Amino acid sequence: MSLLPVLALLAGAAIAVQAGLNAQLGVQLRHVLLGTTIAFGVAAGTSLLASLALPRSWPGPDTLQAVPGHLWFGGALSALGVGLFYFLIPRMGVGPMMSFALTGQLAVALIVSHYGWFELPVRPLTPLKLLGAVALVAGIILINRE
């Protein structure tokens, strides 16, 4: 069995836990955006330390200039998405928020994969995948029933 699915599950679990922790940080600080800023600051510092610790070569100026302009704005989408997580979790709870967020992520991921946007592998949307998406929405409805 490949280790990749296990790592993906670990990544999902880490996102759920960090979302709850960081949402509560925003509540405790009484400032969601400050909590988001602190979370991104810690994440940036952690990423920088990991980048410095792992042996890799750094991109040169030519490589940096060759990167398409739109790719530099993914961080803005991260800030929007994460900020909304931290705003909504104290109001909705981690489970409901993550269930809706996961549904949004998977719906967009199916479209991105179908068309191969961002030079990613093309994975056509099939009737079986569409059935899986419908089952996911049904599951979200069941998860969020009071």
- Residue 39 has φ and ψ, to the nearest 5°, of -60, -45
d(CA 78, CA 124): 26
Question: How many structural domains does the chain have?
Answer: 1
Instruction: Characterize 104-119 residue by residue with b for buried, 16 or more Cβ atoms within 10 angstroms of its Cβ, and e for exposed.
Output: eeeeeebeebeeeeee
d(CA 33, CA 86): 9
In the structure, what pLDDT confidence band is assigned to residue 12 with cuts at 50, 70 and 90?
confident
Global confidence as pTM: 0.76
For residue range 25-65, what is the model confidence (pLDDT) as tens digits? 999 999 999 999 999 999 999 999 999 999 888 899 999 99
In the structure, what pLDDT confidence band is assigned to residue 136 with cuts at 50, 70 and 90?
confident
Angle ∠(121,126,127) on CA atoms, nearest 5: 165
Instruction: Report the chain's mean pLDDT, rounded to a whole number.
Output: 91
pLDDT at 141: 86
pLDDT at 52: 92
pLDDT over 90, % of the chain: 56
Following CA atoms 8, 75, 132, 140 in sequence, which dihedral angle do they give, to the nearest 10 degrees? Answer: 100
Give the domain extent around 97. Answer: 4-143
For residue range 68-118, what is the model confidence (pLDDT) as tens digits? 999 999 989 989 998 998 999 999 988 888 888 988 998 899 999 999 998
Output DSSP code: residue 58: P
In the structure, what pLDDT confidence band is assigned to residue 66 with cuts at 50, 70 and 90?
very high
